[in-house]
Structure 1
Amino acid sequence: MWIPISDAPIACFLHFEVAAESGDWIVVDKGAPLIVHPSNGKKEPNLLEGVEALLSYEITNGAALSLVNRLDRETSGLTLVAKNKAAARQLGRAMQRRLVHKEYLAIVRGWPEWTETTCTAPVLRQGDVAESRIWVKQAVHPAGKECCTVFRVEQAWSTSHGPLALVRCIPETGRMHQIRVHLAHLGHPILGDKIYGPSEECYLDYIQHGWSRELEEKLILPRHALHACRLGFPFDEQMFTAEAPLPEDMRRLLDAGGQKDSVR
């Protein structure tokens, strides 16, 4: 049974900062939760409209914005936007050829037994092989598409919410929810993840009733603790790199722990 999503507005943090820019592209550090472009016919604030407002003068003079990479609503961090069709084609080809380097930081539950590992478990939409009430939910399955993510533990610490770890995530492929699915598969779901965390009931409760004290007790954070922190890409035979610091909500968790270990 599919659960319909309410028509009521979903929580939104309309904030972004410019991380790097040229005459042909701009990289912005997106807040969360915030969608990158309009979806499902709903009228709500989104990142693309915000960037269009920022670049209104350039748009008046012929700029045509195009998103090169996309982040989930609840994922914060770096998004690359082309300013014209030629740049969109060039950057799009770089994405297709896997020449764009992306790194994320995630706060996960538990202390991984590994310092670094690579997950190559294939992923597909769960509803294609098993029952799920969440259309977008993905799952590890032998019939899934090729999928590869490198994980590296940056720090582990104790908190009142239990042991947590900061993990650097480097996806070598670009499947939907890839990092979230792989971390859950490894036994360390991302803190605050409504779909791949304690139970998918968290997601269903949230889209029907919004954030609640009960959800806070289960998830701790009102969004999943995943941040796109580094983005490298080629353009006009040069390599460019942008970085974005951890957002405040993730930084607070990092600073609030007890005993801490660096890379183990």
Structure 2
Amino acid sequence: MSEPLPPGSESGEDALAPTLLYQDDWLVAVNKPSGLLVHRSWLDKGETRFAMQMTRDLIGGRHVYPVHRLDRPTSGVLLFALSPEVARSLTEAFAGRRVHKEYLALVRGWAPARGLIDYPLKEQLDKIADAFADPDKPAQEAVTSFSRLHQVELPHAVSKKHATSRYSLVRLAPHTGRKHQLRRHLDHLFHPIVGDTTHGDGRHNRFFREHFDCQRLLLVARTLSFEHPVLKVPMRIQAPLGAELLSLFARLGWPASESDY
């Protein structure tokens, strides 16, 4: 079996270009940048660039089939199948919770050392895309486990209530796949993800933009682990954090090497 390809270097010429992480005869995985849509959406009619199309171009024009999703502002491992049959198998693996997902998130406050968030979520409906969906559908099971990797206290009074500001880096493992699950669960825990303009804290988002020139959601889909649908061997695909995030971590006093995470 071929080894995963080394992560592509980040290009200053095209910040939205995905880079190849892994490819064989049945699968392809890319590192999706923050800000890139996975596929065409009614919600962003003016957008012309999508991870599906760009991945297809990256591998010579072969059609790719999506098997899971990442929010537009989330970066990290995005997996595609190269045939409908493999897509069906992988989609069933995701639905059957046979794919282990790990994320890294930088959040407001000092998060607990570890924990389990078991908090059902109401489906978030869009006025256009979900016009015919049932608005009274009961909340769905949503479970996320987490552990804290690092924490820091900065001498900046972002909130009027505190003379300093605290942040944590957490590793997240969602056991279910609800829309915006990690962002909503961390908000529920009172540790919203920095850069989240929907479920986050605007004061801390603004502080990171102005003080660290950080313009993105600080959420990364770090790894996917699963059984290869054809070869039946264990797979673990990891996305690099990249120079921008590692530089930010270093400024916060955290390790600044990919191998530390």
8 Å contact from structure 1 (residues 118, 149) kept in 2: yes
Superposed CA deviations along residues 52-75 of structure 1, whole A, max 9, x for unmatched, are: 111225x2xxxx310111111110
**Cα distance, 1:127–1:155 mapped onto 2, change above 3 Å:** same
Task: Pick the aligned partner of 1:123 from 115, 121, 138.
Answer: 121
**Cα distance, 1:27–1:48 mapped onto 2, change above 3 Å:** same
Does residue 1:231 correspond to 2:230, yes or no?
no
Identity across the alignment (%): 33
User: Which of structure 1's runs of 4+ aligned residues deviate more than 6 A?
Assistant: none
Aligned pair count reads 221
Does residue 1:178 correspond to 2:171, yes or no?
no
Does residue 1:75 correspond to 2:79, yes or no?
no
Question: Which stretch has the larger CA shift, 242-251 or 31-40?
Answer: 242-251
**Cα distance, 1:65–1:181 mapped onto 2, change above 3 Å:** same
Root-mean-square deviation (Å): 2.9
Does residue 1:151 correspond to 2:146, yes or no?
yes
Query: 1:111 Cα shift?
Result: 0.8
Q: What SS does structure 1 have at the residue aligned with 2:122?
A: strand
Structure 2: tracts of 5 or more residues without a match: 1-13, 131-136, 157-164, 256-261
8 Å contact from structure 1 (residues 198, 218) kept in 2: no
Superposed CA deviations along residues 38-97 of structure 1, whole A, max 9, x for unmatched, are: 11233421111111111225x2xxxx3101111111100000000111111111111121
CA distance in 2, matches of 1:127, 1:80: 25
Q: What SS does structure 2 have at the residue aligned with 1:56?
A: coil
TM-score by length of 1: 0.75
Return the letter of the residue paired with 2:119.
A
8 Å contact from structure 2 (residues 150, 254) kept in 1: no
Superposed CA deviations along residues 1-34 of structure 1, whole A, max 9, x for unmatched, are: xxxxxxxxxxx93222111121101111111111
**Cα distance, 1:55–1:125 mapped onto 2, change above 3 Å:** same
**Cα distance, 1:110–1:193 mapped onto 2, change above 3 Å:** same
Question: Where does residue 107 of structure 1 map in the other structure?
Answer: 106
CA distance in 1, matches of 2:125, 2:226: 34
Does residue 1:243 correspond to 2:241, yes or no?
no
Q: What SS does structure 2 have at the residue aligned with 1:37?
A: coil
CA distance in 2, matches of 1:126, 1:239: 34
8 Å contact from structure 2 (residues 123, 140) kept in 1: no
CA distance in 2, matches of 1:43, 1:166: 32
Return the letter of the residue paired with 2:145.
V
Return the letter of the residue paired with 2:120.
P
Question: Which stretch has the larger CA shift, 29-38 or 230-239?
Answer: 230-239
Superposed CA deviations along residues 180-203 of structure 1, whole A, max 9, x for unmatched, are: 101111011001110111259x9x
Structure 1: tracts of 5 or more residues without a match: 1-11, 136-141, 203-212
